[in-house]
Amino acid sequence: MVTKEKLIDFNSVWEYSPAPESTDHVKLDDKYDLFINGEFVSPKSRKYFWTENPATGKKIAKVAEASKADVNSAVKAARTAYDKYWSKMPASERSKYIFRIARIMQERSRELSVIESLDGGKPIRESRDVDIPLASAHFFYYAGWADKLDYAFPGRKTRALGVAGQIIPWNFPLLMAAWKIAPALATGNTVVLKPAETTPLTAMKLAEIIQEADLPPGVVNIIPGAGETGKAIVNHPGLDKIAFTGSTVVGKYIQKTLAGTGKKYSLELGGKAANIIFEEADLDQAVEGIINAIFFNQGHVCCAGSRLLIQEGIADEIINKLKNRMETLIIGDPLDKNTDIGAINSKAQLKRINELVSAGIDEGGTIYQPTCALPKSGYWFKPTLFTDVSQSHRIVQEEIFGPVLAIQTFRTVDEAIEKANNTPYGLSGGVWTDKGSKVFKVTKQINAGVIWANTFNKFDPTSPFGGYKESGMGREGGLHGLLPYVELI
Amino acid sequence: MSNNGSINLSDFLNPPPVDQIGIEERVARLNKRSIKKNSKLSALKLALSMIDLTTLEGKDSKGKVRQLCNKALHLHDSFPDLPNVAAVCVYPPMVPTAVECLKESNVKVASVATAFPSGMTTLQTKLSEVRRVVRMGADEVDMVISRGAFLRGEYHLVFDEIASVKEACGEAHLKVILETGELYSLDNVRLASGIAIGAGADFIKTSTGKIQPAATQPVALVMMQAIRDHYFKTGKKVGLKPAGGISDAKTAIQYLVLLKETLGVEWLTPDLFRFGASSLANDLLMQILKQANGVYQSANYFSKD
Amino acid sequence: MKKRLEVLKTYKIYIGGKFPRTESGRYYLLEGKNKKPLANICRGSRKDFRNSVVAARKAFSGWSGRTAYNRGQILYRIAEMLEGRREQFVSELILQGDSAAKAEKEVNISIDRFIYYAGWSDKYIQLFSSVNPVASPHFNFSVPEPTGVVTMIAPEESGLLGLISVIAPVIVGGNTCVVLASHSKPLCAVSFAEVLHSSDVPGGVVNMLTGFRSELLDNFSTHMDVNAVIYCGDDKKEGKRVMENSSLNVKRPHIINTKDWTKEKAQDPYQILDTQEIKTTWHPIGI
């Protein structure tokens, strides 16, 4: 049956009143220093940068910028901590420290959620229900591994690498810190971590928590900064391992830079996942899945389902339902408990999204956005669909890292799989079908590290995450997430 | 729909599958909507206006029905600007009493029929019962489907029976009770919803209240999706009535959120949405007063009828 | 009476299940003891390499789609064929300068190594998989899948055993590969390709080139349709170069610097894991 497009009125009556999460429970300083050797120290660079609230453009706090000399001190502290405490300690004791971090994070979860939303622009519903609980769960999971590593890799024992340099992105600030720090500590490494320059605050709160948990000084060092700080970490000769999550461009730079150094590395890079909807799927849930795949965290998700492939016969119906569903998305104040889509993380990211969306229009794509209004100040972008696009369009090929979905149709299973795999990336994918055998066939054929069948954008500490091809190498999470931090002996 | 525009059962026999986990996730997500201040107050009043104040017990008496009608007409007279409930819902023998009590008001009289709650009787008996309650003045008829026939796969029988009852209703509105607690799966709920809608239901209703589980939000969401698909295809609006087990304001508001974000604001009216409930009204009233004067309320100050 | 004239073998390269000469028409002379000419070996070109990658890519979906049991059978068949031609391999090793005893031993271990990896075909997945107890109503599991097309610079010093030790774990895991044989000891590599050809290994799964490392190293490590590169050797500069080149398309680079391939440590399932990707799949559990 051909479905005519029909938009339902969702908003003219009974609008939800503002329901802002209160911020009075949150303790934020005006200024944050580097966390090195268990203490907060002012940077040798004497430089500070402002971190701002992307929903308002207002400054929140000054944060120290680590220079090369500061990176040096941090690496030195981490090395001493490795030699003196962390490698000497019984694994069961190490385990208890990590459990402690998990517990304190749970206790302070509300504060952490609010800061995450303030600093990064993500809806409080997500930081409260996803980011922060998952971050503490990640510590909880890896804590238990610390004294069980002999069982992890049959026939082999493990040895810690030493000191790990870790660089994390701005899309899931605290969660990414947890993904990096927890397995590194559990396997017996010490850490120098650089949070992203637009979202350093929860990492600095994590530093407080680590202090509160009384970890030996230097086991975890957290040093904010931008690209130059990252470069200094990557190039530092005193590190045994680099773990990076971020863009494929930077990932390639790191891989090249580390050639011949003997340093181990793991990379979690970009993606351009296809979400494939077959006609026998539960269409209403598929629409929910599409929404969750691309609009979760404003689309600032490396595994976002940014390409939608719909089987031809249901394309009109799905697109109609999708447009209706988009009308119900609430865009605005990240701290409002009803907000579905928050602010774009930074001015620079907004610029990139605008640029790619313009390219989409210039190349002949048809753009659709819902009728919602955007706040006046801060950085915002409406949830966006593109139809009439093909594999050769930039918005189909390039990672936009924003709430922009490119829609194509297909006829056969083979065509869907071919289109899904026609990308240099291979991080994730989605399949929607009610047919069991098809689930296994198609998920097997998609070349990507995480496949969601009849669901999307689910995460769990026990579940390995990471990419094929240019989406990176190594896994984070689960048993497989131990491997990047150990040498097998 | 067939080419000549008439409705066939076959149009409703292959609904899309329903993923239970997906539905539950959607409900959980919508339950996180935080309804505060003005939006809460208007939701409470709206919910009040959607209530089918119900008494369906073997021991029901005329006196009990009169009390209930009184309650419908005087929810809490000391508080101004309260809406009426939508209807009073009773067993067939009580219809004349309810009609008499409510004749000066705009509160409707609804009667269960078709051998409620089991539906275990002949079609002839069901139809004569329906004709009788309509003749006695019921504005609305709440029928039950033959779950036995449905579960045996005799969908045509279910479909034809609903269509016959609809015809017997004449001007009266027909609510079709699926008794989802006996349908066992969301797929069945979706299928039964389609059959009822196709056969001419004005409303589809979750439950009799006599079987557990009665109304649940996942079931209601699936029924809303069936209603929405029918609307997308035909432009026709079918109503929904969750009934049984909805006793507090918080749950009622959660249903309204589901409704608004699935079917849109046009369904936010007693013409298209009802709560089948008895104790819900008082909890809504307590919350309305709390919103108005900021003090938590006690049940002792609200009439229990 | 005159001795019968020996029929000499032409050593060709192996691409897509065929034995062409190098498209470049070039060769290098392989000499044995006392500068005795042994063979004119193909000096493979970058075009030969390019064709090999095309063949390997084409063969990938079929090979990776075989059942684990079937791949195990085929690897076992390779060992059988090796066994049947053991004399040839022994004599080639001797020609390339090994003592008879050493040659004998190397061939024995080579055959056994294939048996070893053949046995892993339907076990490494069990070893490296996991079912993950996620905290939501979902079934979640992780399994290894082959990385794709793998290029290999085979060990220079160990023309048969070293070669086999790097090929076996790669193909048992469902990958296809392009191999550059030892420059100084290429005879067994070409003969091994003939073994593969008669062992039910589909064309394109292993492509064997001979030639110059210095000439092909960059191509082996830069090609954008190659997913992993294995470099055997201890040349720091070459190793670094391979790793740098790998960054062009985030290839998985592996530097293997095994000195003694006869040791038991030279074989283990973690070498299979080196050219595997872990895939995690989620599905709701409901009714």
User: Which whole number is the average pLDDT over C122-147?
Assistant: 98
Domain count, chain A: 2
Residue C180 lies in a domain: yes
| Residue A161: domain span | 31-269+468-488
Give me the total of CB pairs closer than 8 Å, taking one residue from chain A and one from chain B: 89
- pLDDT over 90 (residue B206): yes
Indicate which CATH number applies to the domain containing C139: 3.40.605.10
B7 or B223, greater pLDDT: B223
Q: How many CB pairs under 8 A join A and C?
A: 115
Comparing CB atoms, the residue among A259, A267, A470 nearest residue C244 is A259
Least Cα separation, residue C212 to chain A (angstroms): 22
Are residue A408 and residue A278 in the same domain, yes or no? yes
| Residues of chain B neighbouring C137 (CB-CB closer than 8 A) | 21, 24
Q: Which residues of C touch B19 (CB under 8 A)?
A: 284, 286
Smallest CA–CA separation between C159 and chain A, in Å?
Answer: 26
How many pairs of residues across B and C have Cβ atoms under 8 Å apart?
Answer: 16
- Strands A384-387 and A366-368, bridge-based pairing: antiparallel
Instruction: Note whether C250 contacts A: Cβ–Cβ < 8 A.
Output: yes
Look at A3 and B233 and tell me if their CB atoms are within 8 Å: yes
What mean pLDDT comes out for the span C194-201?
96
Query: Which ranges of C121-179 does DSSP label H, i.e. alpha helix?
Result: 124-128, 161-172
Note whether A264 and A233 are within 8 A (CB).
no
* Terminal-to-terminal C-alpha distance of chain C: 87
Give yes or no: A268 in active site. yes
- Prediction ipTM score: 0.97
Q: How far apart are CA A147 and CA A98, in angstroms?
A: 12
pLDDT at C122: 97
Does position C33 have pLDDT exceeding 90, yes or no? no
A476: β partners = A465
Q: Does C22 touch chain A (CB under 8 A)?
A: no
Confidence of residue B3 (pLDDT cuts 50, 70, 90): very low
The answer to whether residue A194 sits within a structural domain is yes
**Same domain for A363 and A347:** yes
User: What CATH number should be reported for the domain holding residue A437?
Assistant: 3.40.309.10
Residue C241 lies inside a defined structural domain of this protein: yes
Residue A351: inside a domain: yes
Q: Judge whether residue C1 has pLDDT over 80.
A: no
CB spacing of A154 vs C127 below 8 angstroms: yes
Looking at the DSSP assignment, which residues form a beta bridge with residue A193? Answer: A166, A222
Read off the pLDDT of residues C89-107 as tens digits, 9 standing for 90 and up.
999 999 999 999 999 999 9
Q: What is the band of B6 on the pLDDT scale with cuts at 50, 70, 90?
A: low
Both A303 and A389 in one domain: the answer is yes
The answer to whether A454 contacts C268, with C-beta atoms less than 8 Å apart, is no
Q: Which residues of B touch C284 (CB under 8 A)?
A: 19-22
B20–C287 C-beta distance less than 8 A: yes
Same domain as A338, residue A259: no
Across residues C217-233, what is the average pLDDT? Answer: 98
Domains of chain B, first to last: 15-297 (3.20.20.70)
Q: Which of B175, B241, B260, B305 is catalytic?
A: B241
The closest of A438, A188, A407, A215 to A311, measured between CA atoms, is A407
> What distance lies between CA C278 and its chain's CA centroid?
21
- Gap between the terminal Cα atoms of chain B: 46
pLDDT digits (tens, 9 = 90+) for B233-256: 999 999 999 999 999 999 999 999
Disruptive mutation site among A285, A328, A341 for chain B (greatest number of B CBs within 10 Å)? A285
Query: Both A482 and A429 in a single domain?
Result: no
Report the residue of B18, B20, B27 to disrupt the C interface, i.e. the one with the largest count of C CBs within 10 Å. B20
| Contact between chains at A455 and B263 (C-beta distance less than 8 A) | no
Catalytic residue, from B139, B142, B202, B305: name it. B142
Task: For A9, name the nearest residue in chain B, comparing CA atoms only.
Answer: B264
What the block records as the tokens of A180 is 């990096």
Is residue A214 located within the same domain as residue A344? no
* Segment B14-56, tens digit of pLDDT: 899 999 999 999 999 999 999 999 999 999 999 999 999 999 9
* pLDDT given for residue A5 in this prediction: 83
Asked if A15 is an interface residue toward chain B (Cβ–Cβ < 8 A), one would say yes
Whether residue A139 lies inside any domain: the answer is yes
Do the chains contact at B20 and C284, CB–CB below 8 Å?
Answer: yes
Whether A361 is in a domain gets the answer yes
Residue B112 token pair: 């269960």
My answer on whether A167 and A82 are in the same domain is yes
pLDDT of residue B1: 42
Q: Report pLDDT for B304.
A: 77
| Same domain assignment for residues A105 and A184 | yes
CA of B22: which chain C residue's CA is closest? C284
In a domain, C74, yes or no: yes
β-strand pairing of A428-432 with C176-180:
unpaired
Residues of C within 8 A of A450 (CB-CB) are 279-282
Question: pLDDT band at residue B293, thresholds of 50, 70 and 90?
Answer: confident
A399, A414, A455, A462, best to mutate vs chain C, most C CBs in 10 Å? A462
The answer as to whether A174 is a domain residue is yes
Query: How far is it, in rounded angstroms, from Cα C284 to Cα C287?
Result: 9
Interface list for C 248-287 with B (CB within 8 A): 284-287
> Distance between CA A183 and CA A482 in Å, rounded?
6
Å between C138 CA and nearest CA of chain B = 9
Q: Which position among A65, A268, A399, A470 bears the catalytic label? A: A268
Q: Which of A302, A303, A399, A476 is catalytic?
A: A302
Mean pLDDT of chain B: 94
C270 in contact with A, Cβ within 8 Å: yes
CB distance C284–B19 less than 8 Å?
A: yes
pLDDT of B173 strictly over 70: yes
C5 part of a folded domain:
no
What residues of B are in contact with residue A455 (Cβ under 8 Å)?
21-22
C53: containing domain:
27-284
| C-alpha dihedral (A130, A135, A139, A145), degrees to nearest 10 | 60
Q: What is the DSSP letter of A465?
A: B
A440 and A474 belong to one structural domain: no
Q: Which helix (H) or strand (E) holds A107?
A: helix A91-107
Judge: C285–B185 Cβ closer than 8 Å, yes or no: no
Residues A261 and A180 reside in one and the same domain:
yes
CA distances from A208 to A43, A127, A204, A225 (A): 17, 19, 7, 18
Contact at CB, C130 and A443, closer than 8 angstroms: no
Say how far apart CA C112 and CA A309 lie, in whole Å: 48
Q: Are A251 and A227 part of one and the same domain?
A: yes
- C132 inside domain: yes
Q: Which partners does chain B have (≥3 C-beta pairs < 8 Å)?
A: A, C
A130 touches chain C (CB under 8 A): no
Give a yes or no: residue A16 inside a domain. Answer: no
Residue B60 bears catalytic tag: no
The label of the residue with tokens 């409707």 reads B108
Interface mutation vs chain A, best among B260, B269, B271, most A CBs within 10 Å: B260
Instruction: Show residues of chain C in contact with B186, CB under 8 Å.
Output: 287
By the 10 Å C-beta count (0-12 exposed, 13-18 middle, 19+ buried), A373 is classed as: exposed
Q: Identify the pLDDT of residue B274.
A: 98
The predicted pLDDT at position B8 comes to: 79
**Catalytic hit among B205, B260, B283, B305:** B205
Task: List CB contacts (< 8 A) between B21 and chain C.
Answer: 137-138, 284-286
Residues C69, C70, C72, C75, Cα dihedral to 10°: 180
Question: What pLDDT is stored for residue C141 in this prediction?
Answer: 98
- pLDDT < 70 regions, chain A: 1-4
User: What is the number of structural domains in chain C?
Assistant: 1
Tell me how far apart the alpha carbons of residues A63 and A218 are, in angstroms, rounded to a whole number: 20
What residues of chain A, 210 to 249, have a C-beta less than 8 Å from chain B? none
Residue B282 tokens, joined: 């008082």
Nearest to A260 among C236, C269, C277 (CB): C236
Q: Where is A241: in which H helix or E strand?
A: strand A241-245
Q: What is the model's pLDDT at position B2?
A: 43
Interface list for C 125-144 with A (CB within 8 A): 127, 130, 132-136, 138, 140, 142
Compute the distance between CA of residue A320 and CA of residue A314 in angstroms, rounded to an integer.
10
Instruction: Answer whether residue C83 is part of any domain.
Output: yes
**A31: burial class by Cβ within 10 Å (0-12, 13-18, 19+)?**
exposed
Q: Is A291 on the interface with B (CB under 8 A)?
A: no
- Residues A260, A127: one domain? yes
Q: Tokens 């229990």 sit at which residue?
A: B304
Looking at residue C221, the DSSP 8-state letter turns out to be: H
**CA–CA separation, A233 and A168 (whole Å):** 12
